[in-house]
Amino acid sequence: MFYRRWHRASVHSFSARKSDSIFRAKQELHRKPRTLMFNPVRLEEIVEEVKRMGIDSSRKKFLVAVYAFRSMSKSTLEKKIDVYRRWGWSDQAINEAFRRYPMCMTVSEDKIMSTMDFLVNKMGYSLTRIAKQPSFLTRSLEKRIMPRALFARELISQGLVNEFKLSVLFDASEKVFIRMYIDRFVNKAPELLKLYREKLKISGKKHRSELA
């Protein structure tokens, strides 16, 4: 089982007391009505799992990780882990991705498959590069990832940039993205805004045709 492998691989020490971690998690989770129906025994198991993975219980990310685990059953988590494995991620890479951005485990299996297929098979991104910057996996494939990836490829082909940090490329707001990658080069390539809008239309049409 995936949990047992993670347990053996963990080499982190945990200074926070178990009771304190569970109390903090309960305190935060009880702010949402759905928590009233949540099994306290399962919550304790989740808290321990997150601690074993090396996420500091004093950090906000710890609670985000608890939320992520809480949102699915163990069997559902296993299925998502298997999808990442099928794309060549080792358990260590999966563990690292989760520590960096716990919400990457909340993405649906189909979304993981379609996003990885586009980035790896169509855009040529390396698995290692994606695993080290997993935050953007929760972003919309057709509205965010596809148009920006295609646009970034155009910038590289024109020699305007050499490479992109994926988390910046895909996580930046639309306003910030336009300022960083369009307004910045407006004098050298005034057609960039039009080009980006075309990529948005192309990715939208492609997504709709795939759903038809």
Q: DSSP letter for 103, please.
A: G
User: For residue range 157-193, what is the model confidence (pLDDT) as tens digits?
Assistant: 989 988 888 988 999 999 999 898 888 888 888 888 8
94 and 117 housed in the same domain? yes
11 and 29 housed in the same domain? yes
120 and 157 housed in the same domain? no
Contact 95, 9 (CB under 8 A): yes
Residue range of the domain that includes 116: 75-136
User: For residue range 32-54, what is the model confidence (pLDDT) as tens digits?
Assistant: 545 435 677 888 888 888 888 88
Looking at the 3D structure of the chain, how many domains does it have? 3
Quickly state the pLDDT bin for 206 (edges 50, 70, 90).
Answer: low
What whole-number distance in Å separates Cα of residue 95 and Cα of residue 166?
Answer: 19
Q: Which two tokens stand for residue 212?
A: 């038809």
131 and 179 housed in the same domain? no
Q: DSSP letter for 32, please.
A: S
Place of tokens 């082909």: 157
Q: Which two tokens stand for residue 137?
A: 């996996």
160 and 188 housed in the same domain? yes
Give the end of a domain, one of 21, 47, 71.
71
29 and 83 housed in the same domain? no
53 and 102 housed in the same domain? no
